[in-house]
């Protein structure tokens, strides 16, 4: 895998920095760019993977300390191994090349028997990521997002960030979509909402989640199913996550996010995770990066205990 990746100075917390994934249980990698739209720059996401890695650099010195989110040290008894292979050599304007790199890297990780965790990148990066999970189907996708992303195309591009769930719905291995945290305009017209609902997507609005708790979403997840989570940072409330392109009031809290992840890991088989849409330039004091990175760390911790 080394030729696809740029090595990183700081691996994600709990991970070893290397390209050998043969004995890893989970593999972290960065995908800085996805499929661009004409006249919409996706360069602002380029630093997201390294920013989230560096946010927990200090905490990485204390892996043996008790984590009260998880009920013990981050990686439990230490038998769960994590590798960080670095960032894919993506390019802002090369949508086709970026998709190929993401799909190829994810395929290799899945074929090795490890769980892929991708740090994006804009919200088009999950399209090839989900494609590469084909032999893990039938697959349930849990999307945490302010937007439903069911546009068939935008600006003539069908593989951009507004079409992620529409493209996922067309993949034969995807059997269920649970979309959580949807609110505001949701970047959807009437026709996209109707198409999503007619397909069978379970749309759980942020208001429903705040009113009924995570059960509003978990009631739609089948026990024992193969599941992946795609986590758009704008699914969080902008009070704790201002570092996004489309901040929308009323999103999930940090505690709701980690409770949801813990519940999914316990009820299903989490086979992949991605975190996307973090914009470093909009994080003025570093707390948004720390929040996003802590959510990612909770994914590692929950899986280590499973």
Between strands 269-276 and 16-17, the pairing is unpaired
Q: Which of 218, 177, 222, 220 minimizes the C-alpha distance to 201?
A: 177
pLDDT (tens digit per residue) in 167-226: 999 999 999 999 999 999 988 999 999 999 999 999 999 999 999 999 999 999 999 999
Structure confidence at residue 1 as a pLDDT band (50, 70, 90): low
Whether 50 shows a pLDDT value over 80: the answer reads yes
What is the average pLDDT score of the chain? 96
**Mean pLDDT of the 292-297 span:** 98
Q: Measured between alpha carbons, how far is 298 from 134 in angstroms, rounded to an integer?
A: 25
**Mean pLDDT of the 157-169 span:** 95
pLDDT (tens digit per residue) in 82-120: 999 999 999 999 999 999 999 999 999 999 999 999 999
pTM, full prediction: 0.97
**Mean pLDDT of the 281-291 span:** 97
Residue 13 near residue 63, CB atoms below 8 Å:
yes
Domains observed in the chain: 2-305 (3.40.800.10)
């Amino acid at each position: 895998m080394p030729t696809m990746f740029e090595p990183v100075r700081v691996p994600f917390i709990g991970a070893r920095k290397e390209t050998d994934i043969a004995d890893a249980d989970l593999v972290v990698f960065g995908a800085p760019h996805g499929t661009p739209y004409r006249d919409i720059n996706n360069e602002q996401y380029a630093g997201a993977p390294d920013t989230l890695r560096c946010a927990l650099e200090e905490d990485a010195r204390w892996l043996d300390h008790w984590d009260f989110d998880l009920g013990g040290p981050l990686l439990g008894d230490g038998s769960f191994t994590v590798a960080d292979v670095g960032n894919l050599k993506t390019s802002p304007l090369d949508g086709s090349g970026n998709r190929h790199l993401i799909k190829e890297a994810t395929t290799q990780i899945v074929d090795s028997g490890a769980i892929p965790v991708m740090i994006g990148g804009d919200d088009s990066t999950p399209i090839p990521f989900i494609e590469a999970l084909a032999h893990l189907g039938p697959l349930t996708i849990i999307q945490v997002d302010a937007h439903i992303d069911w546009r068939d195309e935008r600006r003539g591009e069908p593989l951009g960030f507004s079409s992620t769930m529409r493209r996922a719905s067309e993949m034969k291995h995807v059997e269920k979509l649970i979309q959580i945290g949807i609110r505001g305009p949701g970047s959807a017209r009437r026709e996209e909402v109707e198409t999503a609902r007619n397909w069978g997507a379970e749309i759980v609005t942020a208001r429903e989640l705040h009113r009924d708790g995570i059960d509003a979403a978990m009631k739609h997840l089948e026990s024992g199913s193969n599941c992946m989570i795609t986590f758009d940072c704008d699914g969080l409330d902008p009070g704790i996550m201002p570092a996004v392109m489309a901040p929308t009031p009323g999103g999930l809290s940090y505690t709701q996010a980690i409770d949801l992840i813990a519940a999914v890991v316990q009820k299903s088989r989490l086979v992949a995770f991605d975190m996307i849409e973090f914009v470093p330039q909009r994080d003025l004091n570093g707390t948004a990066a720390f929040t996003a990175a802590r959510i990612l760390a909770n994914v590692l911790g929950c899986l280590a205990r499973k």
